[in-house]
Amino acid sequence: MTKVLLAYDGSESARRALDRLVEMHQAGDEVTVISVALLQAGGPRSGGVDPVENVDKHRAELKEAKELLAAKGIQPQIVEGVGDAGDLIVKEAEKLGTGRIVVGSRGLSGPKRMLLGSVSGHVVHHAACDVLVVH
């Protein structure tokens, strides 16, 4: 039995990560899905993200992931997070005693990666368990 944490944000790469998790799933594996709403300073007027709207979006993504997994016979636990995605994924994995994290990669390169950072890169460098990055 392996505890698996799927980072899911509704993106195409997250859907590929979900599909890979399903391919690798074995009877007895415990699956948890996490989606993290970014908390940014300011609101819509200042160009920031409205945290309530952002949280609602991520709740919808979690619902989608849960339904997709349930259709494949996998009943996941759900975790809502608000804050820095990379940090929260790593902390949740530690809290759960996760053996594997599955995360998609958006394929950012060059300046965008330097400016925005890479959630999957952060997870790879900080997680205490195996990390599968799906492209």
Tens-digit pLDDT string for the chain (135 aa): 999 999 999 999 999 999 999 999 999 999 999 999 876 655 555 555 566 668 888 899 999 999 999 999 999 999 999 889 999 999 999 999 999 999 999 755 555 444 445 899 999 999 999 999 998
Nearest of 49, 35, 3 to residue 119 by alpha carbon: 35
- 58, 37 in Cβ contact below 8 A? yes
Domain ranges of the chain: 3-134
Q: State the pLDDT at residue 112.
A: 43
Q: State the pLDDT at residue 66.
A: 98
Q: What is the 3-state secondary structure (H, E, C) of the chain?
A: CCEEEEECCCCHHHHHHHHHHHHHCCCCCEEEEEEEECCCCCCHHHCCCCHHHHHHHHHHHHHHHHHHHHHCCCCCEEEEEECCHHHHHHHHHHHHCCCEEEEECCCCCHHHHHHHCCHHHHHHHHCCCEEEEEC
Extract the tokens encoding 89. Answer: 């994924």
Report whether CATH 3.40.50.620 matches the domain 3-134: yes
Q: State the pLDDT at residue 38.
A: 78
The pTM of this model reads 0.88
Q: State the pLDDT at residue 53.
A: 66
Q: State the pLDDT at residue 115.
A: 40
CA dist 58 and 37 (Å) reads: 6
